[in-house]
Structure 1
C-alpha cells in the first residue's frame, strides 16, 4: 500500500524547488536552478537503494533497479522531466492540500479572487472526495512533470522494499528542458540501455498515448520599404500589410482554437514589425505525415505567390522540423502499449488511448531508437495558476509502474 502522506511529502519537496526552463538560453540545462532539483534527485535515488546512479554535465540523470529474477527479460525504462514551463512562473510555489474535495469551487487566492471552479474546469467533478494538490493562484504547480518523477521514484522504492514482486532490470531517466523542446536532445539512448521505455508525463488518470503531432516551426520575414509618408505614393511598401495578407490567406478555421482530435493547424504565436520589416512565427502541427508535409507546402507556395505579385522577394520563409509522430516507431512493437493497457485494466483503471495534441520526450526518443509511449501522471491544467493533481491519481500511477514491471517479467 502506497502511503498518501509519503507521496504528498515527496511531491511537495520537488515542486517547491524552482526549475523553470528558458528557451532563450543556449546552455543545457537552460537554467542553473534546474541543478538544484537534479542534485536532490540523485540523493533521493541513492536513499531508496538504486544502483548505477549517474548525472552528466548536462544534468541528465540515470539509475538502475537490478533484476531480481534469473531468466532474461527485456530491460524497460521510465522517464520524466524535472524542468517546468516558462509560460508561467514556477518560483515560490506554495502548494495547497485539499482533503476530501467537496466538488465545489476551490478558492486558490482570496485576496485576488482566483477560483478553481468545476463549472469551468469540468474534470474536477470526477475527483470529488479525493485529495487535491493545487497552487495558491500565483504560480504554476509543477505537476508537469514532477508528478511523474514522484511516481517513478516512489514505485522504485516500493519495488526495493517488496522483493517478492518479481521484475527484470529497470532503468530510470530524468531530463532537463523538456518544456522548451530539448529534453531528449542530449539523452544517451545507448547508455540508457533499455529495450523500451515509458514517459510518465500524461494528464488525467488512464491516459495512454503513442501518437503525437508531427511538428515544425516557421519564421516568415516580410521586407518592406520605408519612405516619407507624405511622398509615399508608388514607393512605400508596408510590410505589415503584406503580413496581414499572408495571415488572412491561410485557412482561418485551421487554427488551435478551431481544431481537436487528430486535426492539424497553423498557429501564429508571435508577430512583431514595422513598415520596413515584419516577422511572423508559426508552429505547424498535424498527426498525418502527408497532411503535415502539405501544410508546409501551403506556406511556401503562399510566400512564392506573394513574391510573384511583387516581382521580387518580399517574403522569406524558413521552416524547421521539430519532432515527428511516434506512432510509426511504436506500432511495430505494439506489445509495449498492450502491457501498459493490461496493467491499467488489472488495476481497474479505464485506459484512455488517444493522440497527444502536442509532443513529449517520448516522441523524440522513439526516433532515437527507444520506443516510448506516454502514461498519465495525473495532473490537470498544466502551465498555469489553475494546475492541480489528485493524490489518488499519483498513487494509481505508481501502481501502474509496478504492475508494468511485474507483467514484463512474465512475458
Structure 2
C-alpha cells in the first residue's frame, strides 16, 4: 500500500542535508558557544552563520534574529515581551479571531494582566479587513498581531497594508509567519513587519527550534531570565544542532522558494479541481486564490472529519481535520466557525497540506480513493436522507457540482 503524506502544515520531514549538518554538531563539534576555547568558538561561528541564513531569508539584518524553541515561544515572546515593555504607553492589543492558539492563549493571559485585546472578525474567506484594523486602533494601542497565513485554511492576509497602517500610527506590528516562511516571499522591510515568528519544523528543519525577528529599535523585554545568551533576550545554552539545522533549512528555502511555490501551487490546483469535479456537496474553505501554495481545506457535507481521516489513513493517506474532536473537544475549528460555517459543515472539514516531496501521482491516487470513501461514508450517514433532499434544495454554504 502507498503511504502519502498530506499533512505538511503540521510538520515536515527533516531534509537530509539538514540532518547531515545537525549530526556533525551533535557528535564532532559539540562545544558550548559561550566557551572561549576552540570548541566553543567553532560552534559560535556556526550559530552566527545560521543566524545570517535566517536573516537573509527574511530580508533582515543578522542582529535582528533571535533563536527560540519554536513558533509558540516566539509568539509568546513577541506578545508578552512587547506588552510588558510598553505598558506605560498603552495596554491595548489588536489581533484576529483566527490566530493560532499560541497567540490567542497569550492574549488571554495578557487580559488577566490588565491588557485589553480586540479580536477582529474575518470574512467568509478568512480574510481580515484592513479597515477593521484601522477602526480598532485607539490611543492605547501598542501592538497589532495578525498571522501571515492561516494554518488551517491557508488564507494569506494583507500583511503589507496592515504593516503600513501600523507604521503610520507608530504601533508595533507582529506577524505569526510559521506557515508562510518557506512558502511565501517575505521581506520584513518591504512588508513593514516589526516582529515575526517562525518555526524550524515547518520548513524541513528539526522540531524544537524556531526564531523571532525583532526590528532594531523595537522595545521588548525578555520573558525568561538566566544567562546572557541571545543578547539576554532568550537566555539558556543554545541548541546548536537545532540552530545549524534551522540555518540550513532557511538556506534551502531561500534557494528553492520559487520552485516550491510553483510545484505546490500546481498540485494544489489539480487537487482542488479534481475534488470539485468528482465530489458533490462540498465547500472550499479559505480564499480561492490568495492562499498558501500547498493548502487544500474542504468541507464535505454529511460526514465527520474524523471518519474521513481514519478511512484515508487506511488507504495510506495522512491528512488532518478541522475538527478538534480528537483532542477531546466536541467543538469544530475556531477558524471555520469564525468564517461563518455552521457546526455541521465545519465538522466535515479536511485539510490536505502538500509538500515539496508530493507528486502528481499522489494527487491522482487521492482523487481515486477519496470519492469512494465519501460515497461509502455518506451511504452510512444518518444524514443521508437529508443529503438526498439537499440535492433538490441546495445548501448556501456548499459548492454543488
Class of the TM-score when normalised by the shorter of the 2 chains: under 0.3
Using structure 2 for the length normalisation, give the TM-score. 0.27
Using structure 1 for the length normalisation, give the TM-score. 0.27
Q: Name the structure with the higher strand share.
A: 1
Q: Name the structure with the higher helix share.
A: 2
